[in-house]
Every structure is written in C-alpha cells, then in structure tokens.
Amino acid sequence: CIDSIFLHALQGDEIRLSDVDLLIFDEAHNAVGKSCYSKIMKWYYHPLPHEERPHIVGMTASPGDDREYWSTERRILDLTEILDSS
C-alpha cells in the first residue's frame, strides 16, 4: 500500500513532511486507530508548525457506520480531527 510506503519513507528520513505541499488520502475513512494514515497524521503532521504543514485532501465514500447515527457522527468527528479538517 502506498500509505505504508510513504510512512516508511518518513520514518527513514527519506522525505520530510514539511517538503510536501499536498497530501491526498484516498479511503480517508481508514485514517483511524493504528492505520498508516493515522500514524502519518499523529507522528508527522500534527507536530509540525502550522506554516510547515501540507494541505490535506481526504476522500471517502464511506464516512461512517450506517447502523447507528451517533456512531457515524462520532466517526466523522474523529476523522475531521485526525485529518485536521473542518
């Protein structure tokens, strides 16, 4: 997966997130828990000063769990926090 390749490049100092202008997350609903997307955001994006952070585009067709409204709403709120969106 490209997300794990990118994470390994960050971990190996092959690339710095501050050198990236735009970061696109496909299937952004997976940016939770211990996923590579979540690790990239928590370990590399959020610690950067705001002016050094890349822009984020998160795309998903499945933002939540349709079984329970509160669960879907909570998941969307969690994703917007992790992906630094509003």
Average pLDDT for consecutive 10-residue bins of the chain (86 residues)? 92 95 90 90 95 92 64 82 83
> What is the C-alpha separation between 63 and 53, in angstroms, rounded?
24
Q: Please report the pLDDT score of residue 68 as a whole number.
A: 59
pTM comes to: 0.80
Q: Please report the pLDDT score of residue 69 as a whole number.
A: 55
Q: Please report the pLDDT score of residue 72 as a whole number.
A: 77
Give whole-number Cα distances, 86 to 1, 10, 44, 81, in Å. Answer: 27, 26, 20, 8
Q: Please report the pLDDT score of residue 63 as a whole number.
A: 67
Assess contact for 35 and 7: CB atoms under 8 A: no
3-state secondary structure of 66: coil
